[in-house]
Structure 1
Amino acid sequence: MIEVVEHFEEEGAFASDEAVRSLTLHLTAVERFEQSDSADKVAKHIESFKLLLDHQLENEQISSDAYQALQDEADSMIGQWG
């Protein structure tokens, strides 16, 4: 999912570097839990990632296209790990 964030960053879908950094930081933690097969922690962190996306959308920090794509990716991960 970090690649998806990077793709949308290149397209200018975020209002600030801080918005990108917070999403990337969150996803880095998720990757660590994936590597250790901690399904409950992956699901928990993806849920909080979705809340972060909601917050960014409400505060106009992310485009609606990037928001929807990342929400879809997060839902897919929850289905896989949840």
Structure 2
Amino acid sequence: MKVEVSLFGAFRDHEPGAQVVLELPEGARVAELRAALLDYAQAHWPAFRPGLLQRSAFASETTVLRDNELLPADGRMAVLPPVSGG
């Protein structure tokens, strides 16, 4: 399945279009998406820090999903880095 991952926060600094499309098997889970995005980032984003992805959340159009949950059938996801500020 094709998974369209919208990028937010620091991830946008690495990808001009603020989106990547990854190919994953049908029935894939968020953990598999996290691993695929890590592989993509290490191959395409020279300044990428893997720790950022470890601490980031993944969300469908309606909810934040945990690593063991299935990806939505529409393949639309977002990666949300941690934020801080005050």
Is the shorter-chain TM-score for this pair beyond 0.5, marking a shared fold?
no
> In which range does the TM-score fall when normalised by the shorter chain?
0.3 to 0.5
Question: In proportion to residue count, which structure has more strand?
Answer: 2
Question: In proportion to residue count, which structure has more helix?
Answer: 1
TM-score (norm 2): 0.38
TM-score (norm 1): 0.39
